[in-house]
Amino acid sequence: MTSISRKGILVLALLTVLALLAAPAVAQDMEESEFVFAHGGPIRTLDAPVTWFISTHWLANLLYDCLIWRTVDGSGYVGQAAESWENVDATTWRFNLRPGITFHNGEALDAAAVKWNIDRVRTREDFMVQPQWLDVAEVIVVDDVTVDIKTVAPTPYFEFIVSFNGCELLPPGYIEEVGEEQFARAPVGSGPYVLSEFSESDRYVFTAWDDYWGGRPDIDRVIYQVIPEQSAQVAALLAGQVDMVANVPSAEVPGLEMAEGIVLTSETAAVMQHLYLRVETETGNMDSTYPDYQPATLDANVRHAISAALDRDLLAEVHGSALPRTGRICPHFPEGGGDSFNSAEGVAAAYNPDRARELLAEAGYADGGPTVYLDSPTVGRAGSEKEVAEVVSVMLEEVGFNVELTVLDPSAYGEQISSGGNNRDIMMVSLGCSVPLVPLFYQCNWIQANYNVCNEDFDAVAQAILTEMDPAARLELWGQWWEYWFDTMQTVTLFESQAIIAYSDEFDFTPRKDGWYTFRENLKLAGDDM
Amino acid sequence: MQQFIATRIVQGIITLIIVSFLAFFLVRLKGDPVDITAPPTFNEDQKQRLRELWGFDKPLAEQYVIFITRAVTGDFGIAYLSKRPAMELVIERLGATWLLAGVASLIGLSVALPLGIISSLNRNSFFDLGSTMLASIGTAMPSFWLGLMMIIFFSVRLRLLPAFGALDPSAIIMPSLTMGVGMAAYLSRLTRSAMLEVLNEDYVRTAYSKGLITRTVVFRHAMKNALIPIMTVFGLQLGWLLGGSVVVESVFSWPGLGRLMIDSIGVRDNTVVQAALLFFSLSFITINIIIDILYAVIDPRIRFD
């Protein structure tokens, strides 16, 4: 009897320990609001200008202010450290800082600090964002709260540059005192949140800063929790342990629709899926990889046939969360061509298999062929690349092409793209569709060696766009750009990816048009004014 | 004994040198890290300057000498992407990986030994058949799938356990169970067969004939002899748990070394990959030296000289 009692006590003790262990995972102070975002990781250094990875800059935007920042709806810019700004002349931009603002450690965020930051980012060759800042010729401190930035040439899209990766303002005094290595361990900014704790590429806890110039943020704590597996992210949301999951796989949507307290929405991921077609063999190292190979896509008729053979509606359906497109720029930009390139009618008109066959016949392939090599990653920025590539192959074969499809692991594919010129005919590429970036992608001094889309005329128009300060004249140049775009058909756009976002109904959330998951004015507790 | 330990340590050092060689050259087989790390806005000149800054422009042999000279002092360089010392990142994550592997091993052992012993004592019984079936399921079940099912059941349905991270002590339950199941399945079969072999020995029959009860025969006589192969495999499995925790760490977002290594491989952060690989190897070698020493403790007949 005594022995049984002892055993009973032991079992009871064990059960008690297990119950304590299994108690609610995270004790929460009910008075403090907390928002947890499931981040797919990895997250790089929060010495933000060092890294180019956008998903790290999502976090940086809570910790730091930039001079100005892109609006949620993508239509313009708002001041952060700068209260106002103006284009003084073709190559000078003046920024008037908010008087008296400081970094979290009390250090002044003045014109000298802005100069230190921009000089740092434009001169450090080990910084991944440095190339985009090479347009800056000089930064002049006018007075404590006024700074002029001179550009090497007229730069109409300078506001985009100055609000993009590397725009984060860091405290010069603190960095010089502790060094960059220590700064990476304990970064300090001037944004609405202080980084209160973090473990590298795992969990980052941001706490609202009382003294922020824009007022204390509505949410007390914003946490970025790295959860690499998408299924595990969704499970954590359903378990109430995270509050938002972005890029929900379409297979998970029905389950989330049935769950209580979950809001589902979708917004552009600001990424488009394209087929890059080889239009010349001079650049890159294709000749050494495939000596004497003559890509069929050198013939414009073949390129147009590829475009006409593709049913973009079906491809968007295969992707699961995408809108069919024929243009190159996200349609919410005025330069994006609007409905003419992206409407259902426009997209439907582009699909014409009979025309594709005619074009192939004109190119000398009436009896079948040509053979084209299509390379794709298993998955990339747009998602479902492999599946889309397989359907593209079928569509091309339907009109007479012989397709040799190669699907590679993303890192091997990245290697192939970046190491230069290994693609023979067609490669799947997902790229951003923001206006100021797109002309860059087609300049001959950029990475055309890898994508093989260099075209001198195209380059000239792109260069003119990037230096034309008059908005009306610039739109006209865009018209020329689009003509080249459709004439040369060196890039065939398939669709624009849409991110499916699931979040707790305890929050009001407006997704950003730039595909960034950074939370400032676009996130509130449900019921509060946005 | 001391000579044996010294020999094993020297062998371990030689193994580490070989691993360092492989770690250094294999990560380079994956291609130029600058090509992957640099953004598409970098042209070839800018990439070349980055190679010079990071020392990739030097001959490979020279790079290796620099790497190994620094590595012996614990300096693996600064991680390209986090801008913190690679060693610091590895040490930060090492504890979580060891803890997970340790708890998983405890679970594995505490399930496997009783199952294996009872099965061997009741050969071909329902219990034996049942444990064989469980072992087959445990071995065949992918840890990735098991982990997700556990999250759905314990976190989503019952809301009992955290679905991710290592914030709460209870967070270790699911990942360690996921890892422990496979180990338990394998070790239970091994324990059963090792015990069956020993139970047929003359000295066990003698022990029984002396009138000793089964518990005494099993734990005092049979188990000690059966433990040698079990410990050998346990050592290897523990090493596998340290290295093979990558999948489980990803599913449960456990902040361990495996996840750090996968992240770093993805972005060619060689400094971290090399440091992590060497730490995995060091752990593996250390565990196996300890196991070798334990042989002598368990079975005094084993002499190393």
Any residues with CB less than 8 A from the CB of B229 and at least 6 apart, and which?
Answer: B190, B194
Measured between CA atoms, how close is B269 to chain A, in angstroms? Answer: 11
Provide, rounded to the nearest whole percent, the portion of chain A with pLDDT above 90: 58
Rounded distance, CA A233 to CA A239, Å? 10
Say how many CA atoms lie within 13 Å of A261 toward its Cβ.
10
Q: Is the pLDDT of residue A24 over 50?
A: no
Confidence of residue A290 (pLDDT cuts 50, 70, 90): confident
Instruction: Determine the Cα–Cα distance for residues B118 and B134; give it in Å rounded to an integer.
Output: 14
pLDDT, position A27 = 43
| Structure tokens belonging to residue A186 | 């304990």
Which of A141-145, A229-233, A306-310, A438-442 shows the lowest mean pLDDT across its residues?
A438-442
Distance (Å) of CA A56 to CA A48, A62, A66, A73: 8, 11, 15, 21
For chain A, the average pLDDT equals: 87
Greatest alpha-carbon pair distance for chain B in Å reads 85
Within the 49-108 window of chain A, which residues sit less than 8 Å (CB to CB) from chain B?
50-53
Global model pTM greater than 0.80: yes
Give residue A198's pLDDT: 93
Return the structure tokens found at A134.
Answer: 């090479």
- Given a cut of 70, whether residue A10 has pLDDT beyond it is no
pLDDT digits (tens, 9 = 90+) for A342-360: 788 888 999 999 999 999 9
Measure CA of the first residue to CA of the last residue in chain B; give whole Å.
7
Q: Which one is predicted more confidently, A152 or A278?
A: A152
Which residue carries 């020297």 as its tokens?
B10
The answer, yes or no, to whether residue A209 has pLDDT greater than 80, is yes
Query: What would the two tokens of residue A365 be?
Result: 């392939």
Given a cut of 70, is residue A283 above it in pLDDT?
Answer: no
pLDDT above 80: residue A528: no
Query: Using the beta-carbon criterion (under 8 Å), do A125 and B161 form an inter-chain contact?
Result: no
- H/E run at residue A509: strand A507-509
d(CA B188, CA B191): 5
For β-strands A34-39 and A221-226, DSSP reports them as parallel
- Average pLDDT value for residue range A70-90: 94
A86 forms bridges with which residues in the sheet? A94
Look at residue A3 in the predicted model and tell me its pLDDT: 43
**Angle at alpha carbon of residue A381, lines to A339 and A246, rounded to 5°:** 85
Q: How far apart are CA A87 and CA A469, in angstroms?
A: 10
Distance from CA of B83 to the nearest CA of A (A): 6
How confident is residue A23, by pLDDT bands cut at 50, 70 and 90? very low
Q: Return the structure tokens found at A350.
A: 């582009």
Residue A215: pLDDT over 90: yes
Q: Is the pLDDT of residue A274 over 70?
A: yes
Q: Which positions 210-249 of A are in contact with B (Cβ < 8 Å)? A: 225-229, 231-232, 235-236, 238-242
Q: With beta carbons less than 8 A apart as the criterion, state whether A252 and A234 touch.
A: yes
Q: Are A189 and A196 contacting, i.e. CB atoms less than 8 angstroms apart?
A: no
The answer to whether residues B176 and B103 touch, using CB atoms and an 8 Å cutoff, is: yes
Q: What is the DSSP letter of A251?
A: G
**Residue in this structure with the two tokens 């797919």, named with its chain if needed:** A40
Q: Does B29 touch chain A (CB under 8 A)?
A: no
Cα–Cα dist A366/A359, whole Å:
9
Residue A306: other Cβ atoms inside 10 A: 27
Q: Please name the residue of chain B whose CA is at the shortest distance from the CA of residue A49.
A: B81
Closest among B198, B219, B189, B259 to A203, alpha carbons compared: B259
Give the pLDDT mean for A325-350: 81
What percent of chain A is predicted at pLDDT more than 70?
Answer: 89
Mean pLDDT of A411-415: 76
Q: Where are the alpha helices (DSSP H) in A111-270?
A: 111-123, 158-161, 172-178, 180-185, 230-238, 253-258
Averaged pLDDT, groups of 10, chain B, 305 residues long: 83 89 80 71 77 83 89 87 88 91 94 94 92 91 91 93 92 95 92 92 89 88 88 87 81 90 81 89 88 80 63
Report chain B residues whose CB lies below 8 A from the CB of A185: 84
**Pair A484, A457: CB distance under 8 Å:** yes
Put simply, whether B149 touches A (Cβ < 8 Å) is: no
Residue A119 pLDDT:
96
pLDDT of residue A418: 66
